[in-house]
Chain A
């Protein structure tokens, strides 16, 4: 099936994370200007990939399984864990409309809570999660 536009993935991820974490701000990638904020979320999209099967038909592909990494930053460790838990509870195993009314249907979201750490240079607790989307095409 045809490849979808990753820009639409990005828009949907931004919308969905903002809807889950509100009023905590959500940004694509890290911006050091935001480090003065007590808590915020950034994300990065990667691994947009449909398996390609044999033959010359460009549409002979499987479903898309992009991954986006979620970075939760907070000055207070409790905040970092609570925000991460909100995302985990909302997204893990979710299927349905992703990204609001202008988004798209996903078959499943699979969240992998990777690890928490502390960034000494910006004095923020940091929790990293991966979320895999299964997008039928």
Chain B
């Protein structure tokens, strides 16, 4: 497995999504399967374009992963209490992109936000030369807004809410 083996710059990360207005999201197993699954969204070569996906031209990839949640237990007879991680939700991704009204990817996102119930597979890909490491997850889009502040290009902002337990890591072979 050709996993990048060095510290990656933040700007090497890019966001991809399945195409189609009513996509079939990947299963949990497929989300961590590179060949034929994640690779078909991000492309088999680094910075390629998969047959079933396209890149979303966003400004930056926000923090992704898992939110924190814990319970604090007091243990009789012990000097220290105990903090136990409890069930927590995946981190929502609030993303800003330059607003191009004809951009096919942003139109998909806009449609998803109006619907609110479309599950779509998204992939965050980070590359090192020709190698890619991918974090794939299923999510729904909400809160699509357009900010037309006059001192720069218009921006659209949207939030992807990942579905619980539907994620996977993979990399190119």
Contacts from A to B (Cβ < 8 Å): 1, 51, 53-57, 59-63, 65, 108, 136
In the assembled complex, the Cα of A100 lies from the Cα of B13 at a distance in Å of 41
* B97 CB contacts on chain A under 8 angstroms: 53
Q: Does A54 contact B98, Cβ atoms closer than 8 Å?
A: no
User: Residue A55 contacts which of B57, B98, B150, B153 (CB distance < 8 angstroms)?
Assistant: B57
Counting residue pairs across A and B whose Cβ atoms lie within 8 Å, the total is: 51
CB distance from A85 to the nearest CB of B (A): 24
* Chain B residues within 8 Å of chain A by Cβ, number: 21
* B127 CB contacts on chain A under 8 angstroms: 56
Q: Does B46 contact A54, Cβ atoms closer than 8 Å?
A: no
User: Residue A54 contacts which of B14, B47, B152 (CB distance < 8 angstroms)?
Assistant: B14
The answer to whether the Cβ of B11 comes within 8 Å of any Cβ in the partner chain is: yes
The answer to whether the Cβ of B61 comes within 8 Å of any Cβ in the partner chain is: yes
In the assembled complex, the Cα of A54 lies from the Cα of B57 at a distance in Å of 8
Closest Cβ neighbor of B55 among chain A residues: A57
Given A53-B57, A54-B59, do A62 and B14 touch, yes or no (CB 8 Å)? no
* B15 CB contacts on chain A under 8 angstroms: 54-55
Closest Cβ neighbor of B57 among chain A residues: A60
In the assembled complex, the Cα of A19 lies from the Cα of B98 at a distance in Å of 34
Q: Does B11 contact A55, Cβ atoms closer than 8 Å?
A: yes
Q: Does A53 contact B153, Cβ atoms closer than 8 Å?
A: no
CB distance from A107 to the nearest CB of B (A): 9
The answer to whether the Cβ of B10 comes within 8 Å of any Cβ in the partner chain is: yes
* A61 CB contacts on chain B under 8 angstroms: 98
Given A54-B10, A54-B11, A54-B14, do A59 and B153 touch, yes or no (CB 8 Å)? no
In the assembled complex, the Cα of A56 lies from the Cα of B42 at a distance in Å of 12
Given A62-B152, A62-B153, A63-B152, do A57 and B60 touch, yes or no (CB 8 Å)? no
The answer to whether the Cβ of B58 comes within 8 Å of any Cβ in the partner chain is: yes
Task: Identify which of A51, A60, A63 gathers the most chain B CB atoms within 10 Å of its CB.
Answer: A60
* A57 CB contacts on chain B under 8 angstroms: 14, 47, 55, 57
Q: Does A56 contact B47, Cβ atoms closer than 8 Å?
A: yes
Q: Does B13 contact A55, Cβ atoms closer than 8 Å?
A: yes
Q: Show 20 A/B contacts (Cβ-Cβ < 8 Å), sorted by A.
A: A53-B58, A53-B98, A54-B10, A54-B11, A54-B12, A54-B14, A54-B15, A54-B58, A54-B61, A55-B11, A55-B13, A55-B47, A55-B55, A55-B58, A56-B12, A56-B14, A57-B47, A60-B57, A60-B58, A62-B152
In the assembled complex, the Cα of A71 lies from the Cα of B89 at a distance in Å of 59
Q: Of residues 57 to 102 in B, which have CB atoms within 8 Å of A's CB atoms? A: 57-61, 97-98, 100
Question: What sequence of 0s and 1s flags, for each residue 12-30 of chain B, a beta carbon within 8 Å of any chain A beta carbon?
Answer: 1111000000000000000
User: Residue B46 contacts which of A56, A108, A136 (CB distance < 8 angstroms)?
Assistant: A56
